[in-house]
A and B are shown apart, each in its own frame.
Chain A
Amino acid sequence: MDLSDQVVEHLRRVAALPDLTGTPYELLEEIGRGGMGVVYAAHDRPLDRRVALKVLDAAAESEAGLIARLEHPAIVPVYQAGLLPDGRPWYAMKLVSGARLDHFLAGGPSLAERLRVFRRIGEAVAFAHTRGVMHRDLKPQNVMVGPFGEVYVMDWGIAAVAGTPAFRAPEQALDFRSDIYALGAMLACALPDPAPPALRAIADKAANRDAAARYVDVPALLADIERFQEGLAVEAWKEPLWHGLHRFASRNAVLLWLLAAYATVKFVLFFMRNL
């Protein structure tokens, strides 16, 4: 038998298609593929809705169970999981529409919107960490921003994935702080150019090559961003005096204006009385 290249390619494609016999799903089309599996759009027949169906390499078998444990508004909910007749694990999840974070950022959102999305990502990661789950491959391509501003962090905790170079912490043995490194790298990507120095410093601290010099956990990172948004000094940056004064003035503008007005009135009254 002499197989042509076309037939080999066809066989590769069709033999990889999941056999969904015995499941409530009907395969529609492939919508993406990554290191550990392929994602298809599928039709959930009983509920008449479109879902995303991910078919995994057996090495990533625990992924569905892992995500199912993570019930959080910024983590894609898993509907059902199982094994294909050929032994490959699969799971069906909400089909998220919207834009990938990198595409969303390319649209030039405001700084406030960028920080809102980033904090949402951080909250999802912080929640997962409390459940003992690391993401291991955080990057803008693994975050979706929906049409109503909803944020979803996807592709969780696949031990076999080494991470994406630009977002991967330098340490050999990954731990929770490696996710903080990736968040720092993502924050750096999410900031506009030029970025406020305090935010740049937060991103740099989170993505420090020395794991011990990073934030101790994700809530500490988020708290520093919150301090920035409230006009307070951030932990990551020792600001110059003039910057501190400027920040104080910006934060207390109304009070300062009132004080200035009060002083002016007192000054005028003082002169009028002594005329």
Chain B
Amino acid sequence: MSHDDTAIGGPHAQFPSTQLSLLAAASGSLPNDALDRIIALYWKPVYRFVRLKFRKDNEDAKDLTQSFFATALERDFFLRFDPSKASFRTYLRMAVERFAANQHAAAHCQKRGGEIRFEPVDDQEVAGDSPEEAFEREWRRQLFTLALEDLAACAAREGKQLQLAIFEAYDLAAAERPSYAALGARHDIAETAVTNHLAWARRTLRGFVTERLQGVTPGERELRQEMRRIWI
């Protein structure tokens, strides 16, 4: 994440209070839990997409993202989704694009003469993928971030802190991964136990990824498609 990027849409603890009011503003026809899951998963991809596509700075991108979700909730946008036409992710991204373009045009009219500022974005972001690819990549990252939170909560609940610690040391290692033997020695367990603990954590993580996807897909068919996009 770049230094002026937002932390909104990340861990639940960092969710803005206005986000909660968005939920409260929901019509009530879509369960709050479902909205919560949609916003938790999509807030950051939408924000990143807006930043790259419309060259917005951090604050403008946050405002635009926030107002997109607020408008979407007011107008029952999520309930108008037709799974036979596109995936929810594509539907949402295209809606964001239209919404942001309209906002952009409105700002343009107000300023009479195209004084819209195109903010420079980070070199890292420009050199990377297209906004659409960045959206997809951010969506995957957010999906795994949320599933990892679920995994940590599950490990705490079930007293599997050792499994989680081994998983974090091995699978979340930013640099070189330790060997199974080194991990075993560190925790005073056999190598086979390291293998088993990792298998538990990965299996459970996969389950949470599936659960998160279930929460934001309208049916079995789209869930399968999303699963294939993630795993295959």
Q: Measured between alpha carbons, how far is A14 from B199 in the docked complex, in Å?
A: 9
B137 within 8 A of partner (CB)? yes
In this complex, the interface size class of chain B, counting residues with CB under 8 Å from chain A, is: 20 to 34
| B196 at interface by CB-CB < 8 Å | yes
Contacts of A57 in B (CB 8 A): 224, 227-228, 232
Residues of A within 8 A of B137 (CB): 5, 8
Contact (Cβ within 8 A) A12 B172: no
- Nearest-neighbor residue (CB-CB) of A85 within chain B: B203
Q: Is the interface of B mostly helix, strand, loop or mixed?
A: helix
* Per-position binary interface string of chain B over residues 6-39, scored 1 when its CB falls under 8 Å from any chain A CB and 0 otherwise: 0000110000000000000000000000000000
Q: Flag B167-189 by CB within 8 Å of A: 1 or 0 each.
A: 00001111000000000000000
In the complex the two chains form, is A8's CB within 8 Å of B140's CB?
yes
Q: Which residues of the other chain, B, contact A31 by a CB distance below 8 angstroms?
A: none
CB distance from B196 to the nearest CB of A (A): 7
- In the assembled complex, which residues on chain B have CB atoms less than 8 Å from the CB atom of A147? none
* Complex: chain A residue closest to B175, CB-CB: A6
Contact of A14 among B11, B148, B202, B224 (CB under 8 A): B202
Residue in A7, A10, A15 whose beta carbon sits within 8 Å of that of B206 in the complex: A15
**For the complex, what is the distance from the CA of A86 to the CA of B227, rounded to whole Å?**
13
**How far, in whole Å, are A160 and B222 apart by their CA atoms in the complex?**
12
A48, CB-defined interface residue at 8 Å: no
Instruction: Count CB-based A-B contacts (< 8 Å).
Output: 70
Q: Is B40 in contact with chain A by the CB < 8 A criterion?
A: no
Closest chain B residue to A6 by CB distance? Answer: B174
Residues of A1-37 whose CB lies within 8 A of B: 1-8, 10-12, 14-17, 19, 21, 33-35, 37
Residues of A within 8 A of B210 (CB): 86
Total interface residues on A, using CB and 8 Å?
A: 28
Known: A16-B206, A33-B232. A8 touches B144 (CB 8 A): yes
Contacts of A21 in B (CB 8 A): 196, 199
Cα(A263)–Cα(B209), bound, Å:
86
Asked if residues B232 and A7 are in contact (CB atoms below 8 Å), the reply is no
**Please, which residues of chain B bring their CB within 8 A of the CB of A66?**
none
Residues of A within 8 A of B149 (CB): 1
User: Which one of A14, A16, A85 lies within 8 Å of B171 (CB-CB)?
Assistant: A14
Determine whether B207 belongs to the interface, using a CB cutoff of 8 Å to chain A: yes
User: Which of B11, B140, B198, B224 lies in contact with A1, CB distance below 8 A?
Assistant: B11
Whether A256 is near chain B, meaning CB under 8 Å from some CB there, is no
B224 adjacent to A12 (CB under 8 Å): no
Is the C-beta of B160 less than 8 angstroms from some C-beta in chain A? no
- CB-defined A-B contacts under 8 Å, sample of 27: A1-B11, A1-B145, A1-B148, A2-B10, A3-B141, A3-B144, A3-B145, A4-B174, A6-B174, A7-B171, A8-B144, A11-B172, A12-B140, A15-B203, A15-B205, A15-B209, A16-B206, A19-B199, A21-B196, A21-B199, A35-B232, A57-B224, A57-B227, A85-B203, A86-B206, A86-B207, A160-B224
Knowing that A16-B206, A17-B202 are A-B contacts, what are 19 other residue pairs whose CB atoms are under 8 Å apart, sorted by A's residue number? Answer: A2-B10, A3-B144, A5-B137, A7-B173, A8-B141, A11-B171, A11-B172, A14-B171, A14-B202, A19-B202, A34-B232, A35-B228, A57-B224, A58-B224, A59-B224, A85-B203, A86-B207, A86-B210, A160-B224
Q: A-side interface residues toward B, CB under 8 Å?
A: 1-8, 10-12, 14-17, 19, 21, 33-35, 37-38, 57-59, 85-86, 160
